[in-house]
Amino acid sequence: MRILLGVSGGIAAYKAVLLLRLLREDGHAVRVIPTASALRFVGAPTFEALSGEPVTDEVFEDVAHVPHVALGQGADLVVVAPATADLLARAATGRADDLLTSTLLTARCPVVMAPAMHTEMWEHPATRANVATLRERGVTVIEPESGRLTGADTGPGRLPEPEEIARAALAAAASAGPSTPGDGPPGDLSGRTVVVSAGGTREPIDPVRFIGNRSSGRQGAALAEAARARGAAVTLVAANLDDAVCGAARAAGVVVVPVETTAELRDAVRAGASEADVVVMAAAVADFRPADVPDAKIKKVPGEGPAPLTLVENPDVLAELAHDRLRPGQLVVGFAAETGDADGSVLEHGRRKALRKGADLLAVNAVGAGRGFGAPTNAVTVLDGRGEVVTEAAGSKREVADAIWDAVTKTLPGI
């Protein structure tokens, strides 16, 4: 892929160097386009040496090749990391006062921006409005992390790690990539773009241990393959799926984006969702993650017993998607893997979840005791957002997938 890496003038500009390395190691041709301010943080020779391409912020260099137009036109993906408050403002208002902003106006490929700034700048109504405008225009704006900022202060505004930005950017490119609307077999999802998450997320405890769950991802993979067979462009965000399951999905024409943690899954799903007509959250995401993950393996000290494990809550990816609707008219489908207990049956728990999450459809299935996770068959009851039964299906995971798509196509506007 031909990637343009825009870098604007924030303290996190040094992380763009690591992002550049990751993208190059992944086999992409990368040209860095810094702003003048970015070059005050990181010198052009660093970007030039690592990319093997010329680096300038100027539109008046190499004018014979008209770079202010040609670079954007020839790109498969534009990533801006870090994106300063100023860069977001200039992009949102259509300014073209340097090579990077001119390129943003001429690029017709996916554009991904990773903002980084102080919390006050990030939360200012002007920045919020600029981000909303960019998102409306189809730009994927990655949420900054909460954490240590330039000085001793902390809060939302920190640039995510380069690995996460690379993953989200490649996912955005993939959802606009080889599996494109209209190139699939004709079917009732022709021309539609779909993102399906599958598998179970893993939350690291230390570099060798994790908290996980028993989801095999086969139901999600079946949903992705069924959607592709019905004509959709499909991205499968695959949380720790077997290579064989990913390989089968790829062979069916599905773009597979592997992820490990809930945070990675959230970024990848949201990156794809900004282009999607339907998002299906079939993955079993961890509700909690360890608060602190040491760099080294936690050692057993004989006689001392285990150190207490403090957990913090993960974002509710499904509820966020249902709330945010990253594309107008988007249909959001959730899954509820339930075991009945003293507080209610599987269906009663599913009904409560349907009301709580705000998704359009919720596929409820009983798990545990050999059912659901890892089994070749499944049985689901599909509820609408009010908890009313829409349909019931049982059989192979592919048959269940098709029954869910039948329910989706009846609900999706314009089908």
85 contacts ligand FMN (rule: CB under 6 A)? yes
Shortest distance, position 38 Cβ to ligand FMN, whole Å: 5
DSSP state of 371: B
For the bound state, the minimum distance from the C-beta of residue 56 to ligand FMN, rounded and expressed in Å, comes to 14
The answer to whether the beta carbons of residues 200 and 283 sit under 8 Å apart is yes
Question: Of these, 84, 201, 240, 381, which contacts ligand FMN (CB under 6 A)?
Answer: 84
Pairing relationship of beta strands 145-148 and 278-281 according to DSSP bridges: unpaired
Least CB distance to ligand FMN at residue 165 (A):
15
What x-and-dash track marks residues 251-290 binding ligand FMN by CB under 6 A? Answer: ----------------------------------------
| DSSP letters spanning 35-78 | -TTHHHHS-HHHHHHHHSS---S-SSSSGGG-HHHHHHHT-SEE
CA distance 402 to 400: 5
Segment contacting ligand FMN by CB under 6 A, of 16-24, 79-87, 183-191, 381-389: 79-87
Q: Is the peptide bond before 178 cis (omega within 30 degrees of 0)?
A: no
Write the DSSP assignment of 253-266 as a string of letters. T-EEEEE-SHHHHH
Supply the DSSP symbol for 147. Answer: E
Strands 29-34 and 2-7 turn out to be parallel
Answer for the pair 221, 157: CB distance below 8 angstroms, yes or no.
no
Stretch that binds ligand FMN, among 30-38, 69-77, 164-172, 371-379 (CB under 6 A): 30-38
Question: How far, in Å, CA of 196 to CA of 408, rounded?
Answer: 13
Q: Which is nearer to ligand FMN, 130 or 201 (CB)?
A: 130
Token pair of 88 as six digits:
């977001």
213 flagged as catalytic? yes
Q: Going residue by residue from 147 to 186, which x/- string records binding to ligand FMN, judged by CB under 6 A?
A: ---x------------------------------------
Smallest CA-to-CA distance from 411 within 240, 280, 234 is with: 280
Least distance in Å: CB of 121 to ligand FMN? Answer: 6
Candidate residues 3, 6, 9, 400; the one interacting with ligand FMN per rule CB under 6 A = 9
> Using CA atoms, how far apart are residues 201 and 183, in angstroms rounded to an integer?
31
Q: For the packed helices 317-324 and 346-357, what is the interaxial angle rounded to 10 degrees?
A: 40
Return the bridge partners of 101, or none: none
In order of 219, 284, 345, the CA distances from 348 in angstroms are 22, 19, 5
Q: Is position 87 an interface residue for ligand FMN (rule: CB under 6 A)?
A: yes
Which among 85-93, 223-231, 281-289, 351-359 is the span making contact with ligand FMN, rule CB under 6 A? 85-93
- Beta carbon nearer to ligand FMN, 37 or 190: 37
Per the CB < 8 A criterion, the answer to whether 278 and 330 are in contact is yes
Query: Of 3, 31, 35, 131, which one interacts with ligand FMN (CB under 6 A)?
Result: 35
Q: Which region, judged by CB under 6 A, interacts with ligand FMN, from 2-10, 182-190, 203-211, 238-246?
A: 2-10
37 touching ligand FMN, by CB under 6 A:
yes
Among 3, 4, 8, 226, binds ligand FMN (CB under 6 A): 8
Binding piece for ligand FMN, criterion CB under 6 A, among 82-90, 187-195, 315-323, 366-374: 82-90
Q: Does 86 sit near ligand FMN (CB under 6 A)?
A: yes
Residues annotated catalytic, as ranges: 213
Residues forming contacts to ligand FMN in the complex (CB under 6 A) are 8-12, 35, 37-38, 84-87, 116-117, 121, 150
